[in-house]
A = this chain, B = another copy of it.
Amino acid sequence: MLWNDVTRIRDEAPVIHSITNYVVMNTTANALLAVGASPVMAHAIEEVAEMVGLARALVLNIGTLSPAWVESMLAAGVAARKRGIPVVLDPVGAGATAYRTAVAHRILAEVKPTIVRGNASEIRALAFAESGTRGVDSTHPTDAAVDAGRVLSQRTGCTVSISGVVDVIIHGASTARVRNGVPLLARITGSGCTATVLTAAFAAVNPSPFHAAAHAMTLLGVAGELAAPRSSGPGTFQANLLDALAGVTRDELEGRAKLELP
């Protein structure tokens, strides 16, 4: 299943439309290209709905939001749902400011994303209207966020993917865990956002958002494990991570995967 998704992405090169934050546009486009997907970025209200028509998944990432971008995210999201393609929301920094939290809630309500992919703080902010996000990094241990993920999934119907030392993927009453990854992933900017776009690429080829989210986190974690020993710090790790995403073999992926499905 996992490897099947990887080969389908490589063979089909699904177009993934991202409306995302400035910081990670380059990083996430390169991650999508590395796994074999075809990234496109467009944010003007004049074209987002039409651009979504060319894509097989849509990413909405609120990392550097502003009102005009929010309107475009909503329009693209609604167009994507009408076409039946998956929408992955990354609520970057939800809980950090009232505006950011409100926008995330508005996207949840108006777009009804297929998958929400965030860290523990962000998921708790959406589930419990808590604050306490520390910048864009998590301050809650992942497991403490499992309850929040369950609340959010059951209220909205979406799959919730929580990244952390152990990644937890929740859909309704089902829970998967991914125990792959390395500390260096937290020392480069955009590794969470990379998880989000990979989730979209997997959702483009796998009809189960729950499995797509779990597979994406496994691939990213394994790629990190392959890249870390070749790296002498976060700079070389970034380059080696892209190499690993592009070159990972079936044996490497299946041999290292620590994916616990229900």
Binding site for B on A (CB under 8 A): 15, 21-27, 29-30, 33-34, 38-44, 46-47, 50-51, 54-55, 63-68, 93, 96-100, 133-137, 187-190, 231-236, 238-247
Provide the residues of chain B in CB contact with A97, threshold 8 Å.
Answer: 42, 46-47, 50-51
Q: Which A-B residue pairs are the 9 nearest by beta carbons?
A: A233-B243, A235-B242, A235-B239, A29-B189, A47-B97, A40-B135, A47-B99, A46-B99, A50-B97
Q: Is the CB of A135 within 8 A of B38?
A: yes
Report the separation of the CA atoms of residues A30 and B184 in the bound assembly, to the nearest whole angstrom: 12
Q: Is the CB of B235 within 8 A of A187?
A: no
Give 8 CB contacts A-B under 8 Å. A23-B25, A30-B238, A33-B187, A38-B137, A44-B99, A51-B96, A232-B243, A236-B240
Q: Which of B50, B98, B188 contacts A33 (CB 8 A)?
A: B188
Most buried by B among A44, A50, A235, A241: A235
Q: Which of B50, B65, B98, B136 contacts A40 (CB 8 A)?
A: B136
Q: Is the CB of B15 within 8 A of A134?
A: yes
Provide the residues of chain B in CB contact with A137, threshold 8 Å.
Answer: 38
Shortest CB-to-CB span from A12 to chain B, Å, is: 12
Q: Is the CB of A41 within 8 A of B64?
A: yes
Report the separation of the CA atoms of residues A99 and B49 in the bound assembly, to the nearest whole angstrom: 11
18 further A-B pairs in the complex, CB-CB below 8 A; given A40-B96, A54-B133: A29-B190, A30-B235, A33-B189, A39-B136, A39-B189, A40-B93, A40-B136, A42-B100, A44-B65, A46-B99, A54-B135, A187-B246, A232-B240, A232-B243, A233-B245, A233-B247, A234-B242, A235-B243
Q: Is the CB of B233 within 8 A of A187?
A: no
Shortest CB-to-CB span from A33 to chain B, Å, is: 5
Q: Is the CB of B234 within 8 A of A54?
A: no
Q: Is the CB of B188 within 8 A of A30?
A: yes
Most buried by B among A21, A43, A133, A136: A136
Provide the residues of chain B in CB contact with A190, threshold 8 Å.
Answer: 26, 29
Provide the residues of chain B in CB contact with A27, threshold 8 Å.
Answer: 26
Q: Is the CB of B26 within 8 A of A24?
A: yes
Q: Is the CB of B233 within 8 A of A93?
A: no
Q: Is the CB of B234 within 8 A of A236?
A: no
Report the separation of the CA atoms of residues A220 and B68 in the bound assembly, to the nearest whole angstrom: 37
